[in-house]
Structure 1
């Protein structure tokens, strides 16, 4: 494993200062070079607490799977009994963002006609099928932050109870590792302690880092990464989206759609999106405790204990930020000029990583308590 000098100091400092009382005081904090469409809706007051480019169209990536699932569920009949095969596909598509299930429904149920049906039924004003040049790429469906909020408001306030319970129940059980090997707990799951439910989206990245127990991987149907912009929807820049609900009783609906400069690594986009979400005024949200720190290297393993003899829980996207709540001594690790016998505990992963790959000086992280 080669240490790469990934410096995220400014971002870490900004994240460390974000608290529930300070979020939203000066509007969303969007890093330079990032385009964001944002909408946060408070279901208790019936008002938006944040809106930025909320009507701007983005390619949906895997967020469109919400519409694919609804299209299937609406056709089940009054008892909403889901056949076993469909339940398996839908569970995987909603929890682990399975691309094979999405492609199956896209082919079986008419492709772009799915988008036309669901947009009409839900009153979506900024949602449109993929461009004519990419008819098979469901991930190129156009979507806005405002429409995303409308989808969740339907699920929570209007959908038949069996549909709402099934979809939201799966989103509450979102797996960290998606079935294509991407760590999908950026944005909402990283910024907030929970409860939360999420459907995430990503497109245009080459490596997601999450390799342990990633499930069956299938070729993504989100389109080629070298596509150019078409019309009002940018198909060229890497896209990363975090959508869902936050707080008790799904109080807040959050939709953050982002585009990043070409060449941005997944870990960098992951951290930037989480930083944006943490800066928002999200009613009912609770920030997790601990210090946000940058990481070094690629393929860094998170283990069940502070030793290389313990099980690998997952690996980290290169350069991603991690939340550290404490540190303890364990097996000494060396890599080049860096060495340490201290290991950082990552509460959101339920495991440890060696301090060798934490972006800090010395072998022990200043200010972080001992476990």
Structure 2
């Protein structure tokens, strides 16, 4: 198998040539079913495991090789609609930024923050900025931040990073059920100013994080707005938005892939998490934590988390219209118009699955031995990609309408 770089006439992608059938084959997802115990709210409203509760059938489709912890809580009924390994501890990656922000805002409103700190919080919650998180972590006691929030929110599975890695805030242990508790506090108990400020930032989550990773996977890609998300990723070398961006070094980046002996929390396998609230009135809280086999490409993990999230019973959520189709190649650009001469909106994570709304004829693109003048409209990106990089055998996608 060989690899070559293509110029702008070939949409600036680096493609891997293989047999057509292998390159354009669809990715099959293996589904697992499980039975778990339901949870019941305590007198304070914090959900706890209840072994006497009736079993709940889990619909979550977990891809082969993926370890997942899933919780979906319906705030209208006060009950969980999905539970899978809810108490399992995962390294939090950037999801811990929720706790960092809430600790900073404890007993004071956002208006009391210095302008520099408020700007850091905005960047940390919208663009998942690591530098901002590291500043707050160092200035506010590092692991003591986690200890304080565990006590304040009654968290049961959350713990500071291991003693071997005290500066790695992304190594904070977190579970799906504790993440639901965090959002329940934010929605139902936090001062209104704090709630509106934090959720307002999460509703403005940028597609491209400050480290160059496409962070609109899972909840953000699976459901129509309104939603608010805080995502997490760790252990990947490149994540879309730019073709060459590597993971940032330090607590949340590639350096965080070093395992710390026989720790209870897996620090080695690539992690990808999607958490947030979905639907009118923030009806559902969703927490999906996943670990993937070593060396899993970001686009593959992104696709697997998307499929898992779309399989969940999320009351109040609606899924966008269109057809999900796999892609091939890396450095594939989404453009403002159906032509390589138009501006680039973003770069897709290599091999990621995309939602196609419609297709249109545009500039002819040639990637020998293939030539195609059909372009797919990607509504979630607000742009077009050439059909040549879609994993379908025909130039025109069967069953997809013309724009």
TM norm. shorter chain > 0.5: yes
Matched, 1:343 2:360: no
* Alignment match of 1:94 (pick from 122, 125, 132): 125
Which shows bigger deviation, 227-236 or 96-105?
Answer: 227-236
Partner of 2:88: 56
- Alignment of structure 1 residues 151-162 onto 2, 5 Å: 151-162=182-193
| RMSD of aligned residue pairs (Cα, Å) | 2.0
Task: List alignment gaps of at least 5 residues for structure 1.
Answer: 15-23
Partner of 1:106: 137
Distance 1:73 1:149, change over 3 A: same
Partner of 1:21: none
Deviation at 1:210, TM superposition (A): 1.0
Distance 1:144 1:8, change over 3 A: farther
State the Cα deviation string for residues 234-272 of structure 1 (Å, max 9, x = none).
Answer: 001000000000100100000000000001000000000
Residues paired across the two proteins, number: 358
Name the SS of the counterpart of 2:210 in structure 1: coil
- Alignment of structure 1 residues 248-267 onto 2, 5 Å: 248-267=280-299
Deviation at 1:60, TM superposition (A): 0.1
- Partners of 1:12 and 1:294 within 8 A in 2: no
Distance 1:301 1:149, change over 3 A: same
Partner of 1:149: 180
Rounded to whole Å, the distance in 2 between the matches of 1:265 and 1:6 is 15
Name the SS of the counterpart of 1:262 in structure 2: coil
- Partners of 1:304 and 1:312 within 8 A in 2: yes
Partner of 1:3: 15
Which shows bigger deviation, 188-197 or 240-249?
Answer: 188-197
* Alignment match of 2:238 (pick from 201, 207, 219): 207
**Bigger CA radius of gyration:** 2
Partner of 2:251: 221
Higher relative contact order, chain-length normalized (CA < 8 Å, sep 6+):
1
Rounded to whole Å, the distance in 2 between the matches of 1:36 and 1:128 is 19
Name the SS of the counterpart of 1:139 in structure 2: helix
- Partners of 2:70 and 2:84 within 8 A in 1: yes
Partner of 1:333: 365
Task: List alignment gaps of at least 5 residues for structure 2.
Answer: 1-12, 17-21, 32-55
Rounded to whole Å, the distance in 2 between the matches of 1:13 and 1:255 is 21
Rounded to whole Å, the distance in 2 between the matches of 1:112 and 1:158 is 24
Partner of 1:125: 156
Deviation at 1:232, TM superposition (A): 1.5
TM-score scaled by length of structure 1: 0.92
